[in-house]
Amino acid sequence: MGKITNDTFLRAAKGEKTDHVPVWYMRQAGRSQPEYRKLKEKYSLFEITHQPELCAYVTRLPVENYNVDAAILYKDIMTPLPALGVNVEIVGGVGPVIDNPVRTVSDVDKLGELHPEKDIDYVLETIKILTEEQLTVPLIGFGGAPFTLASYMVEGGPSKNYHKTKAFMYSEPKAWALLMDKLADMTVAYLKAQINAGASAVQLFDSWVGALSRADYCAYIKPVMEKIFTELKNENVPLIMHGVGASHLALEWNDLPLDVVGLDWRLPIADARKMGITKAVQGNLDPAVLISSWDVIERKAKEIIDEGIQKPGYIFNLGHGVFPDVNPDTLKKLTAFVHEYSAEKLKQ
């Protein structure tokens, strides 16, 4: 074990032809799995991630249960922030809560640096266990992108409108630039460490960047994303970008030195390619469809696959993450359907 025998995901991410469309699901590790729910009765998210053997078990479960073509490391985008001096707690039913929000230049100045081998050694150990001993599919590492991390750090927790974050960005441009630079350096160090430990690809989640206009993205965010992906490009692994409600930014992502543009359900793949997306694409079934009847799921999946396979470089995924109400058997059945249907279509 520990040797990749199914590299379909990696080939698709590089824009190469594949015999079938590869599948993985955001938040496939955890959430709806009964084995995971049982663990959560005893352990918190952070407690699971701090135990490499246990975390490796949660990470590989969907590979074993669903037959997906890639694993994604089980952890939270908040994982590296405590090393910077951010006091974060995952509160059930709420999400990440930060009791020392960043609101001033002084707050930004106080932020420390991430030293992966010391600060997140448990993450790196989990990756090594998975890639050296357990997985036969690629492992995807990931991190939160600077805007999304900043939104939690400034707001002090989840937000529906990001008013404080955007006000800080507009009114304190120098402090914002410094915050972006610090988060960029942390992100590069974090993802490089995951790659060096054995991750075969990495994804940046900019979950809430859709709250920005395209003009503001280009002015306040895109330069830092350019810096991150340029530095990561030398690692020679597929680089994936994903956000939610950010279809208006897809062309900006396509312009970055990355390999795969993640799409949510708001932008059909055919439309994305017509508007100029030239890179490999990933997506984009609405997760809500997963609790519909099977005939609806199958019809929606067919539509997406038919659009995706018009050009090499397509990875089937959701437009956002699996949620707790989804039946694990549905994900298993959907994975098999995507494999079989796409294989038949690609033969034609």
Binding site for substrate: residue ranges?
A: 27-31, 46, 76, 152, 207, 320
Q: What span, in angstroms and rounded, lies between the C-alpha atoms of 88 and 157? A: 9
Q: What span, in angstroms and rounded, lies between the C-alpha atoms of 63 and 337? A: 16
Tokens of 345: 């279509």
Q: What span, in angstroms and rounded, lies between the C-alpha atoms of 224 and 222? A: 5
What's the DSSP call for residue 23?
B
Please check whether residue 54 is in contact with residue 43, taking contact to mean a CB–CB distance below 8 angstroms. yes
Please check whether residue 130 is in contact with residue 59, taking contact to mean a CB–CB distance below 8 angstroms. yes
Residues 6+ apart with CB under 8 A from 275: 250, 251
Give the residue ranges of DSSP H helices in the chain: 8-13, 34-40, 45-49, 52-66, 105-110, 116-119, 121-129, 146-155, 163-171, 173-197, 214-216, 222-233, 250-254, 269-274, 294-308, 328-347
DSSP for 81-94 reads GGGGT--EEEETTT
> Which parts are annotated binding residues?
27-31, 46, 76, 152, 207, 320
How many helices and strands, by DSSP H and E, does the chain display? 16, 9
Residues 6+ apart with CB under 8 A from 30: 36, 40, 58, 74
Residue whose structure tokens are 């991150």:
228
CB atoms within 10 A of CB 115: 12
